[in-house]
Chains A and B, each alone.
Chain A
Amino acid sequence: MHPRLELRSICKRYPGVVANDDVSLSIQPGEIHAVLGENGAGKSTLMKIIYGAAQADSGEIYCDGNPIAAHNPAVSRALGIEMVYQHFALFESVSVVENIALSASSAFHLPTLAEKIRNLSMRYGMPIDPHRQVHDLSVGERQRVEIVRCLLQAPKLLILDEPTSVLTPQAVVKLFETLRQLAAEGCSIVYISHKLDEVQELCDTATVLRNGKVTGTARPKETTSLELARMMVGSKLPEMHVSPPVPSEKPVLEVNGLSVKARDHFGVDLKNVSFNVHGGEIVGLAGVSGNGQAELVALLSGERTHDRGDAIRICGIDAARLRPNERRKLGIAFVPEERLGRGAVPSHTLWENAVLTAHRFGTVRNGLVDRRKAKAFATGIIDRFKVKANGAQSIAQSLSGGNLQKFIVGREIALKPKLFLVSQPTWGVDVGASAFIRQTIIDLSRAGAAVLVVSEELDELFEICDRLLVICQGKVSAPLIRTTTDREEIGLLMTGRGMSEGASANGSGDIVLQD
């Protein structure tokens, strides 16, 4: 029998890097195959080549034994190949169902399709409202849309490029069930993830890439995650050091009775949110994406302001009415969840992107941008966080996902903040670099900074946070001490079942409750 997919000697170079170097692999029908590797190893590039979204410089692709000659995504879809991109490829200005209709190859009837999406997404534990506009969705919700879109097509080969980076643990469990069922029906799956435990749980075989080359293959179920990590990184993982917190006397961030109406009827109202973050401690905000995190984060960063000045106080100063740059002057630094387009200007170079928030750190003098300083600043981040890029001159959107994330996190940490606000700090970052980023965040807090981490990844929150808050339908729970709580308690709170008052007051909430 022919393998479902066979790659022979795929090569692809970009200016300054060889993204894929003589890569060969084959995947049988019904096989779940992991592709592992550090940030910038060339995984996404390889997937784009399989899907036809990028062209290999040389090498051949066979599908069920037939060579694919002129390749493009339309051919792929006709062959039954579907892909979830790492950076989502959705049309922002139209609704979910319209997006999915656009990629459907056959005729469709919108209301029927919408119904199908609603049912299928519920069944897969990734509820989405088909009529919402994509630009209103959080990244977690967009990821659900991408996955559901692919599943609807009943593919023969499914490519998933970091599909679980912003999914909740419950949704991941459901997704895995679905994937296993698909595989049992003969669908082959290529799965990319930096979460090795997922890979071990799900995948039959794995190919490891380093610097574009295949450096090994493994059977993840029979290999320890340490061994897998070593194959990827080529060296030992750094160990984490978490010293006990030394909270400052006065809180650095105070949120007092913050209530805000959502901007549109799909958003989530924040209801009487109050909490403090002290210097020297790390507070985590757990919750299913789309429960008000986006609203809360925008209010804390200043991208959205609030009329009552003392609803948010930073370093004892009323800040709710201040704009983002004014809050930055108070010592806040912020990593948003969207890295392309919000945290960084996609078409600008890295040094220009350094100026975006580091303009008070010597990169601007007398109203002129000091290019030399800006480049030095960017190069400093690139070196310290081992960002794989072709120097400070590289364009932000040419970086691999994890490397851009490292750059943005590095830039904000380099601002030496008193209050560090970070959403999904290690989204798409490989194991080695994640450990480094987490350690840097811990060191930052132990040096006196207040840190608020917003994440859906409980493991990450449990690893670095001192106290945990849970947000559900716009309400924030009382703080829980990390050492005295557990995943079950947090998980219950995340679904709203642990909250004291009736939590289903909000209309959009019932969707979340289904999780």
Chain B
Amino acid sequence: MRVAAPILATILTVVVGSIFFASLGHDPLATLYAFFVEPLSSMNGLSEWLLKASPLILIACGLAVGFRANVWNIGAEGQFTMGAIAASGVGLFWPNPESVLLLPLMFVAGMGAGMAWAAIPAFLRARMNTNEILVTLMMTYIATLFLSYLVHGPWRDPAGFNYPQTALLPAAALLQSFDPAYRLNSSIFITVAAVILMWLFTDRSFLGYKMSVSGAAPLAARYAGFRESAAVWIGLLAGGAAAGIAGMAEAAGPLGQLSPQISPGYGFAAIIVAFIGRLNAFGIVLGGLLMSLLFLGGEGVQMTLGLPSAMTRIFQGFLLFFLLAADFFIFYRVRLVRPIRDAHALETAR
């Protein structure tokens, strides 16, 4: 049943999506082909597919650690942004731009910034019992505006024709691609490691066990003496670290510099990925691949068929909507009830 819902949701998304294409006056089959198959039919397409899946999977792994304990970090987008800012800052301003330590330092900075950004809602929730959903979401807007301020102001590239962007990162601060023709780079290994770590943590470790007890039965967690605040801290910091690292990998990878739009919404899409993947490490890999394909397909039909760029968002929306609906109908039954006047009427009706 747990596996049925994501599959059902995917099928429904495709079906409703094609009805949607048809209503816009496009041949649904051709459009579906352009959306889901064409992007994967070239080497470059495959490289882009993995490149975009990587941050989604990485962030979703981090978020799922918290979600399993009912810690709702909705602000991965902001933690991603802060990670990208901190990592780029190190890359741009480290005294020795050729140092081999540059990338490791950027990694640490990105992770640290993501965690720090998540630590604020963690502190507020653990100490003041604020709602982490609201705080993490609001912190996202602060991070985005902070990025905008930096690239419009202090960090703007003086040689950049007034574009709101920073200078390019030095070569030693870039993750090298496997092949100069494609953009896929070694950050994919970080994601692989994260998936394995996440599996180990949630399925095997005692800490992960405690988190799942906190999520499934808070009173039992208190009975056993597992701290609720520990679950909050670990849940939020794991998401922050993963998102921060993803931000670093994006800045040091395909982007190579900061601009106001560094994320096509990875932080939010990763929430859907985590749920499509049922908060399970390997499910998340599949969910991330699917979500990445939605990004690629959306771009594809935008270029080849001139469909609006909102296509990706619309498909993401369908997917989440159908997943929630499928879960709902699996766990609940809807019955239409008419008021029953009296038992006698009912008996005679039978």
Contact = CB atoms under 8 A, between A and B. Distances in A.
Interface stretch (A181-189, A216-224, A355-363): A355-363
Interface string B204-227: 111101001100110110111111
A364 B209 CA distance: 10
Contact of A347 (B206, B209, B216, B340): B216
B216 A348 contact: yes
Contact of A345 (B220, B227, B340): B220
Nearest to B340: A78
Chain A interface mostly helix, strand, loop or mixed?
mixed
A342 B225 contact: no
Contacts of B213: 345, 348, 356
Nearest to A324: B225
A17 to B, nearest CB: 21
Contacts of B226: 325
B225 A80 contact: no
Contacts of A344: 217, 220
B350 interface: yes
A79 B220 contact: no
A323 B221 CA distance: 12
A301 interface: yes
Given A325-B224, A368-B204, A368-B205, A338 B219 contact: yes
A75 B213 CA distance: 37
B343 A78 contact: yes
A324 B223 contact: yes
Contact of A346 (B209, B217, B222, B225): B217
B224 A356 contact: yes
Nearest to B214: A345
B206 A359 contact: yes
A70 B204 CA distance: 45
Q: Which of A334, A347, A356, A359 has the largest count of B CB atoms less than 10 A from its CB?
A: A356
A75 B347 CA distance: 10
Contacts of A80: 343
Interface string A57-89: 000000010100100001100111000000000
Q: Which of B205, B217, B337 has the largest count of A CB atoms less than 10 A from its CB?
A: B217
A345 B209 contact: no
B216 A345 contact: yes
Interface in A356-381: 356-357, 359, 364, 367-369
A341 B205 contact: no
Contact of B220 (A78, A326, A341): A341
B3 interface: no
A79 B347 contact: yes
B100 interface: no
B334 interface: no
A342 B340 contact: no
B205 A342 contact: no
A325 B225 contact: yes
B346 interface: yes
A352 B209 contact: yes
A100 B346 CA distance: 23
A187 to B, nearest CB: 14
Contact of B224 (A66, A105, A324): A324
B219 A341 contact: yes
Contacts of A345: 213, 216-217, 220
Contacts of B209: 352, 355, 369
A280 interface: no
Given A325-B225, A336-B223, A355-B209, A342 B346 contact: no
A367 B347 contact: no
B129 to A, nearest CB: 15
Chain B interface mostly helix, strand, loop or mixed?
helix
Given A78-B340, A79-B346, A364 B222 contact: no
A357 B224 contact: yes
A74 B337 contact: yes
Contact of B340 (A74, A348, A355): A74
A64 B340 CA distance: 19
Contacts of B339: 105
A343 B213 CA distance: 12
B206 A367 contact: yes
Interface in B232-286: none
Given A69-B350, A345-B213, A369 B223 contact: no
A483 to B, nearest CB: 35
A303 interface: yes
A326 B340 contact: no
Given A78-B340, A352-B209, A364-B206, A303 B222 contact: yes
Nearest to A68: B350
Interface in B328-350: 337, 339-340, 342-343, 346-347, 350
B350 A66 contact: yes
A328 B350 contact: no
A2 to B, nearest CB: 12
A343 B206 contact: no
Nearest to B226: A325
Nearest to B209: A369
A184 B339 CA distance: 30
A338 B206 CA distance: 24
A231 B207 CA distance: 48
Nearest to B227: A323
Contact of A78 (B225, B227, B346): B346
A367 B220 contact: no
A355 B221 CA distance: 12
Nearest to A327: B225
Interface in A285-326: 301-303, 323-326
Nearest to B219: A342
Interface in B91-121: none
Contacts of A338: 219
Contacts of A303: 222-223
A453 to B, nearest CB: 18
A456 B44 CA distance: 73
Q: Which of B209, B226, B346 has the largest count of A CB atoms less than 10 A from its CB?
A: B209
A139 to B, nearest CB: 13
B204 A328 contact: no
Contacts of A301: 223
B222 A356 contact: no
B190 to A, nearest CB: 22
A325 B224 CA distance: 6
A74 B205 CA distance: 45
Contacts of B223: 301, 303, 324, 334, 336, 342-343, 356
A301 B346 CA distance: 52
Contact of B206 (A342, A348, A369): A369
A254 B75 CA distance: 48
A341 B219 CA distance: 6
Contacts of A364: 206
B225 A343 contact: no
B346 A369 contact: no
A185 to B, nearest CB: 16
B204 A105 contact: no
Contacts of A69: 350
29 contacts: A66-B350, A78-B343, A79-B343, A79-B347, A302-B225, A303-B222, A323-B225, A323-B227, A325-B224, A325-B225, A326-B225, A327-B225, A338-B219, A341-B217, A341-B219, A342-B217, A342-B220, A346-B216, A347-B216, A347-B217, A348-B212, A355-B209, A356-B224, A364-B206, A367-B205, A368-B206, A369-B204, A369-B206, A369-B209
Interface of B: 204-207, 209, 212-213, 216-217, 219-220, 222-227, 337, 339-340, 342-343, 346-347, 350
Q: 4 shortest A-B CB distances, which residue pairs? A: A325-B225, A324-B225, A345-B217, A342-B219
